[in-house]
Chain A
Amino acid sequence: MIDVKTLTIQEANQMLANNEITCVELTQACIDAIESNESEINAFVTTTFDLALEKASKIDQEIAEGHEVTGVYGIPYSLKDAYVTKGIKTTAGSKILENYVPAYDAAVYKKLDEAGAILLGKTNMDSFGHGSSTENSHFGVTCNPLDTSRVPGGSSGGSGAAVAYGGGLFSIGEDTGGSNRAPASFCGLVGVKPTYGLVSRYGSIAYASSYDTVGPITKTIQDATIVMDVIAGKDDYDATSIESDNDYEKFINKEDSKSKRYKIGVPEEFFQEGIDPEVKKVIEDAIEKYRELGHEIIDINLPYTKYAVAAYYVIGLSETSSNLNRLDGIRYGLDVETDNWEEKITQVRTEGFTPETKRRILIGTYTLSAGFADQYYNKAQKVRELLKDQFQNAFEQVDIILTPTMPVLPPVIGEHDDDPLKMWLMDAYTCSINPVGIPAISLPAGSIGDLSVGMQLIGPMESEKELFNLGMQFQS
């Protein structure tokens, strides 16, 4: 019996290499987990079990013929439904794309597919990434496997929930303001928001193009490095993508890395009002553990934190209102019968978007519109420069910044239905990172009852190796 709920990629690699399990057995174990959990959790929008088993059996044959088992080869996983997959329905959690079958593959899917990973299905998400709880999907709420009365975080909540219950050994989410880190924190996992451009966005359905990043959700830091080694790097189809040497796993396992000690900055602003005292205690204990390991803990200030959420949302919603203009029902997606052009577009968008997406489009259209752009959008872009300066200054003092990932424990489903602003403020610790472009990861810091608390490690541009290394030291 394979316990896919706790099995890591690293362990599965060894079991496959030693012929302790076959890839078909491993894939079937994940499928069984999905079938027994889905009625309660609702992590998947679409499953691709036939394709998965077919590929698994091909991989078993290759292994028998001597194919090396390494990386994600033979590892079942899920993909957030924000990535286009040729011939497989891709919805972005929305009604407007409910029956959309793309004609091409996203870069991240292609890379994983070629590396031998096995797709189990596409995971649920807040429609177009608009949310922190996965309550804003056209396909229903996803529940947190640690406590099904609570949200799994979002917007990659389906990805977090699936990994937490064993519906695949990892998932690929998209992080625009915390969408990988929030589910990681709430579901007791590792979530990666890489440096902007480190993983190609080609074929990812955009939320806010200057924030969007592609990264894994895994059970361990080690597993996150294994996935990053496959997906990171320059791509001709994404002009914002950057080079990467892809030796993340190797780096964290070097003796020099294990003994490396860091200057860790702890920003006062992240421990003030709004934080749950129990969450605060867990993070303080984690800081203490780092101190005991010999790292230097330095109190720092990030004075513009107070303005980060407002600036994040002004720019993000401006971009999303612009990005979603392409959804007009003409070339793909929801269609309606009418003989009037204007009416057709309006009807498709009115029927196809969730209330939260409409709210965000309205605000973004407002903040970009003539007469208001100076007051909102242009101002927010200037604040974005201040946020960049603030982090740059901090990284002259310290190597890595440590904060809570989320200020609170996962809310009960429906808790913030009437107060979107309160839900948005839950992103305060994660969303200030995306406008700056720097990387951040969330890893479990401890737990309170059945619930998990995540800590966030933030570093300068392209410092993923150091973030993984520091995270690894906590997990070893």
Chain B
Amino acid sequence: MSRKDDIAHVAKLAKLKLTDQELEDFVPQIESILDYMQVLNELDLDLVDFKYNSMLNNVTRDDEVKESLTQEEAVSGRVNTQTDGAFTLNRVVKK
């Protein structure tokens, strides 16, 4: 696959619809950025451990109920499309 096909594919994965013009503009820009990132290949990384994020530790707390948003507040971002404290969505599966 060409880079253009790859980018069109990831656009679909990322739920972005690109116009032909946008794809035209983005491909060389993204290509030059991805090429720039190839600099990492100069390094021999076989002996370096892969870590997702070595700065972090897991933190847990006792499972006590604490004050949080009310249901009304939690759905307040969608005034028009909520019913009885729930979001109303489009049907996902066919009847």
Contact = CB atoms under 8 A, between A and B. Distances in A.
Q: Do A and B come from one complex?
A: yes
A379 interface: yes
A57 to B, nearest CB: 29
A138 B91 CA distance: 31
A388 B69 contact: no
Contacts of A236: 61
A310 B76 contact: no
Contacts of B15: 328, 342, 345-346, 349-350
Nearest to A347: B17
A119 B95 CA distance: 51
A306 B39 contact: yes
Interface string B52-95: 11111011010000000100011111101100000101111000
Interface stretch (A29-37, A167-175, A352-360, A405-413): A352-360
B76 to A, nearest CB: 5
Contact of A385 (B11, B37, B51, B81): B51
Give the interface size class of chain B.
Answer: 35 or more
A344 B91 CA distance: 12
Contacts of A330: 78, 87, 89
A307 interface: yes
Contacts, number: 143
B33 A420 contact: yes
A366 B7 contact: yes
A331 B33 contact: no
Nearest to A436: B55
Contacts of B25: 355
B40 A365 contact: no
A313 B33 contact: yes
B66 to A, nearest CB: 8
A74 to B, nearest CB: 29
A366 B4 CA distance: 12
B20 interface: no
Contacts of A2: none
Interface string B31-50: 01110110111110100111
Contacts of B14: 321, 325, 349, 361-362, 365
A79 interface: no
A341 B29 contact: no
Interface of B is mostly: loop
Given A346-B17, A366-B6, A382-B48, A103 B77 contact: yes
Interface residues of A, number: 62
A358 B6 CA distance: 15
Given A103-B69, A346-B16, A421 B48 contact: no
A381 B50 contact: yes
Given A103-B73, A306-B39, A359-B26, A365 B89 contact: no
A262 interface: no
Given A362-B7, A362-B14, A385-B51, A332 B92 contact: no
Contact of B53 (A100, A210, A353, A380): A210
Nearest to A361: B14
A340 interface: yes
Contact of A335 (B34, B51, B81, B91): B81
B16 A350 contact: yes
Contacts of A446: none
B30 A359 contact: yes
Contacts of B89: 330, 341
Interface string B1-33: 000001100110111111000100110011011
Interface string A304-337: 0011011101100000010001001011110100
A381 B51 contact: yes
A363 interface: yes
Nearest to B7: A362
Contacts of B16: 346, 349-350, 353, 358, 361-362
Contacts of B91: 339, 341
Given A362-B16, A362-B26, A376-B37, A382 B50 contact: yes
B59 to A, nearest CB: 4
Contact of B48 (A331, A361, A386): A386
A349 B18 CA distance: 11
A366 B10 contact: yes
Contacts of B42: 307
Given A210-B55, A236-B61, A341 B92 contact: yes
A379 B40 contact: yes
Given A346-B16, A382-B48, A331 B87 contact: yes
A347 B18 CA distance: 11
A423 to B, nearest CB: 11
B60 to A, nearest CB: 9
Contacts of B59: 239
6 contacts: A197-B55, A331-B87, A332-B77, A347-B17, A350-B15, A386-B48
8 cross-chain pairs, A with B, having the tightest CB-CB distances, nearest first: A332-B77, A239-B59, A103-B73, A382-B48, A365-B10, A382-B45, A341-B90, A365-B14
Given A378-B50, A420-B29, 4 more contacts: A101-B77, A349-B16, A366-B7, A385-B48
